[in-house]
Amino acid sequence: MNTASTKAVRAFNTWKKRSFEYGDADCCQFAAHVLTEITGRDYIARFEYRNEDDAAALIKEHGSLCALVTHALGVKPGDNHIDGDPVVVRLKMIGDAMGIRLGEHAVCLTMNGLTRIPKSHIIEGWSICHQ
Q: Is the pTM of this model over 0.75?
A: yes
How far is residue 52 from each of residues 20, 22, 55, 112, 117, measured CA to CA in Å?
11, 5, 5, 16, 22
pLDDT for the residue 16: 95
Segment 15-41, tens digit of pLDDT: 999 999 999 999 999 999 999 999 999
Tens digit of each residue's pLDDT (9 = 90 or more) over 68-119? 999 999 999 998 899 999 999 999 988 999 999 999 999 999 999 999 999 9
